[in-house]
Amino acid sequence: MHTFQARDRFADGAQYIAGRLTQGTSGRTHAVVDPATGDEVLTYELAGPKDVDAAVAAAASAYDGWSAASPGERSDAMHRFAAELSARAEDLAQAESLQCGKPIKLSREFDVPGTVDNTAFFAGAARHLAGQSAGEYDGGDHTSYVRREPIGVVGSIAPWNYPLQMAAWKVLPAIAAGNTIVLKPSELTPFTSLMFAQAATAAGIPDGVVNIVTGAGLDAGEHLVGHPDVVMTSFTGSTGVGKRVAEIATATVKRLHLELGGKAPFVVFDDADLEAAVHGAVAGALINTGQDCTAATRAYVQRPLYDAFVEGVAELMGTVRLGDPFDPATDLGPLISHPHRDRVAGFVDRARSYARVVTGGEAPDHPGAYYRPTLIADAAQDSEAVQAEIFGPVLVVLPFDSDADGIRLANDTPYGLAASAWTRDVFRANRATREIKAGCVWVNDHIPILSEMPHGGYKASGYGKDMSAYSFEEYTQIKHVMFDNTAVARKDWHRTIFGDR
Ligand code: NAD
């Protein structure tokens, strides 16, 4: 059971511009559907270009004040922001579970605390925005230093799989560095991004620093990316949409940060702790019903452990409890929507012609968008199930022989977001962490990440970093400043150009 009432909460609209909720003006509506029941939860007016313009204008007018605030002032406001989020933890958890179908225990123990922690991290990090000296010149008569400056109004676009955490990952480093932001969450999942922005206002972060436009990608999304007053686009979503976003951003000379799709390999060497690997694979594949860009999707298992691994994973998957997201005992909720569930089922159905579905492979008889945990074995490396991002509770398992083969197969997709290696041998672990081309390689684990750790892809998974102090690279620009301390007009180097005049 939940007490979150979306219709009451967003009666004034599902846009958050200049510190208040407003109605979208696109002339189109969107129905948010509870994927666990198929029931409509809220129909709201989508944002269109006019709303994006209003949000960008609000962010632009807030920029001078916010960017001029001292790091300490921004930090204080963000510490209060973390406290506001913490006070609203149960409300946020319920809203997240309702719109995503996410098990409440995941929202309570992962999404919400992760967001509060992220806010506290960036509140502290706001005071660590240091530049460096660029060295001396002319025997110390010159002083050179580097200023790390905010860049302006940031336009961010986020997906539906972790709406609250994605809002945090986009907004926090941007505002900690002194920028203002317009975030477009997925139109499927507007609630917690709006509530996040409301908490910012309650914390005293000035109106216009954080704005939310909930509109469709082709309409509000493209308008935000192409907007002339937006200096940067930070996008998290699929690689296909990321390419389109990059085209528009490039045409308007914007800084670009892309967090795109993934197809994480899970490489089990023959000396691994089998039980740990089996548990890691099931948890890593099923987290958030497999709708996680770093989820374990391709398990490569060295031949001596292969059969036991397949058997162990199938058995453990059989114990996973599908159910009502608001039942604390539920392990696995529905997928985000019925069309997405059907898309996932399509991948598995096609795989039956070229591989073996060991367990799962069906939707239970239920009105929600559920799908059983699924293990596919014996697929070829170049098959669709191994290469494409399925984004559901589906793990594919393949055997390998030599260590070099395992690593080669792990690298053999266009993606490079995350990976894991399972072994007790430090040399094998070191080789895997060095040779696997991904932005993150776990050893004997898969999934955990904390605020101080960078997240971002290699290859078609994008570029740039979310979280950690590294994310400031995306949201700041470097200015070199040089003082001539002597103010002597005619320098040697002037003579090089003008001669002795
Ligand atoms: P998506 O690419 O369909 O949509 C992402 C966002 O882009 C949404 O807000 C959508 O409205 C918007 N959008 C769609 N078309 C657009 C356009 N033409 N112009 C501007 N914006 C547009 O992705 P999704 O289905 O919401 O999310 C799942 C995808 O996100 C998966 O591919 C997953 O791997 C990826 N993802 C990546 C990361 C990461 O950190 N790399 C994290 C989470 C999700």
Number of structural domains the chain divides into: 2
Per-residue pLDDT tens digits for 85-128: 999 999 999 999 999 999 999 999 999 999 999 999 999 999 99
% of the chain at pLDDT higher than 90 = 92
Give per-residue pLDDT as tens, 275-299: 999 999 999 999 999 999 999 999 9
Which of 484, 486, 482 is closest to 146 using CA atoms? Answer: 482
Instruction: Compute the average pLDDT of residues 51-80.
Output: 98
What stretches of 389-464 show up as alpha helix (H) in DSSP? 403-410, 426-435
Measured between alpha carbons, how far is 25 from 304 in angstroms, rounded to an integer? Answer: 61
Q: Residue 489 has what pLDDT?
A: 56
Protein residues with CB under 6 Å of any ligand 1 atom: 157-161, 184, 186-187, 217-218, 221-222, 225, 236-238, 241, 244-245, 259-262, 293, 389, 391, 417, 457, 461-462
Same domain assignment for residues 414 and 468: no
- Pick the residue whose CA is nearest to atom 20 on ligand 1: 221
The catalytic residue among 259, 389, 440, 474 is 259
**Atom 43, ligand 1: residue with shortest CA distance:** 293
Residue nearest to atom 42 of ligand 1 (CA): 293
Q: Is the pLDDT of residue 491 over 70?
A: no
Q: Does 138 fall in a domain? A: yes
pLDDT (0 to 100) of residue 215: 97
Assigned domain for 486 exists:
no
Residue 259 bears catalytic tag: yes
Mean pLDDT of 363-387: 98
Q: Are residues 284 and 298 in the same domain?
A: yes
385 CB contacts (<8 Å, ≥6 apart)?
347, 348, 350, 351, 355, 376, 379, 394, 396
SS (H, E, C) 39-91: CEEEEEECECHHHHHHHHHHHHHHHHHHHHCCHHHHHHHHHHHHHHHHHCHHH
Give the integer Cα–Cα distance in Å for 287 and 35. 17
| Residue of 245, 293, 337 best suited for mutating to test ligand 1, as the one with most atoms within 8 Å of CB | 293
Contact 243, 236 (CB under 8 A): no
Question: Is residue 487 over pLDDT 70?
Answer: no
Answer yes or no: is 332 within a domain. yes
User: Does 62 lie in the same domain as 134?
Assistant: yes
102 and 142 both lie in a single domain: yes
Q: Is residue 52 part of a domain?
A: yes
User: Does an H or E element contain 297, and which?
Assistant: strand 296-302
Based on the domain organization, do 375 and 467 belong to the same domain? no
What residue numbers bound the domain in which 61 lies?
7-260+461-480
| Predicted local confidence at residue 433, as pLDDT | 98
Separation of CA 86 and ligand 1 centre (Å): 27
Say yes or no to pLDDT of 11 above 60. yes
Domain identity same for 216 and 322: no
Answer yes or no: is 493 within a domain: no
Q: For residue 185, report the distance from its CA to the centre of ligand 1, in Å.
A: 9
Asked if the structure places residue 495 within a domain, the reply is: no
- Examine the domain organization and report whether 285 and 253 are in the same domain: no
Would you tell me how many other CB atoms lie within 10 Å of the CB of residue 72?
10
Name which of 34, 40, 41, 52 is nearest 9 in CA terms: 41
Nearest to 85 by CA among 59, 55, 111, 62: 111
Ligand 1, atom 36, residue with closest C-alpha: 237
Segment 313-320 shows an average pLDDT of 98
Q: Quickly tell me which residue has 């039956």 as its tokens.
A: 352
For residue 293, the ligand 1 atom closest to its alpha carbon is 34
What rounded mean pLDDT belongs to the chain?
96
99 CA distance to ligand 1 middle (Å): 16
In degrees, rounded to 5, the angle at the alpha carbon of residue 230 between the alpha carbons of residues 228 and 234 is: 130
Average pLDDT (357-363) is 98
25, with CB counted inside 10 A (0-12, 13-18, 19+), is middle
Q: Catalytic residue among 84, 222, 293, 440, which?
A: 293
Distance from residue 236's CA to the centre of ligand 1 (Å): 5
Residue 427 sits in the same domain as residue 471: no
Spacing, Cα 488 to ligand 1 middle (Å): 56
Choice from 26, 111, 169, 236 to test ligand 1 binding pocket (greatest atom count within 8 A of CB): 236
Whether the CB-CB separation of 424 and 271 falls below 8 Å is answered with: yes
CATH number for the domain harbouring residue 127: 3.40.605.10
In-domain check, residue 406: yes
Pair (254, 273) in one structural domain = no
Interatomic CA distance for residues 209 and 84, integer angstroms: 16
Q: Domain holding 365: CATH number?
A: 3.40.309.10
Q: What is the 3-state secondary structure (H, E, C) of 343-382?
A: HHHHHHHHHCCCCEEEECCCCCCCCCCCCCCEEEECCCCC
Are 385 and 476 members of one domain?
Answer: no
Identify the residue whose C-alpha is closest to ligand 1 atom 23. 237
Structure confidence by residue, pLDDT tens digits, 131-175:
777 677 767 778 888 899 999 999 999 999 999 999 999 999 999
The candidate with the shortest Cα–Cα distance to 369, out of 347, 326, 403, 340, is 340
Give CA–CA dist 340/189, Å, rounded.
Answer: 14
Atom of ligand 1 nearest to the CA of 225: 20
What pLDDT, in 10s, does the model give residues 207-226? 999 999 999 999 999 999 99
**pLDDT number for residue 488:** 60
Top pLDDT among 495 and 103 is at 103
Domain presence at residue 497: no
| Distance in Å, CA 240 to ligand 1 centroid | 9
Kindly report, residue by residue over 412-445, the tens digit of the pLDDT: 999 999 999 999 999 999 999 999 999 999 999 9
78, 51 contact by CB (below 8 A) = no
Which value, to the nearest 10 degrees, does the dihedral of the CA atoms of residues 109, 112, 113, 115 take? Answer: 150
**Whether residue 293 lies in the annotated active site:** yes
pLDDT number for residue 492: 72
Return the residue whose CA atom lies nearest to atom 26 of ligand 1: 159
Tell me how far the alpha carbon of residue 472 lies from the centroid of ligand 1, in angstroms.
Answer: 22
156 with 105, same domain: the answer is yes
Q: Are residues 278 and 242 in the same domain?
A: no
**Whether residue 485 has pLDDT greater than 90:** no
Average pLDDT over residues 76-88: 98
Q: Which of 238, 291, 440 to mutate to test the pocket of ligand 1 (most atoms within 8 A of CB)?
A: 238
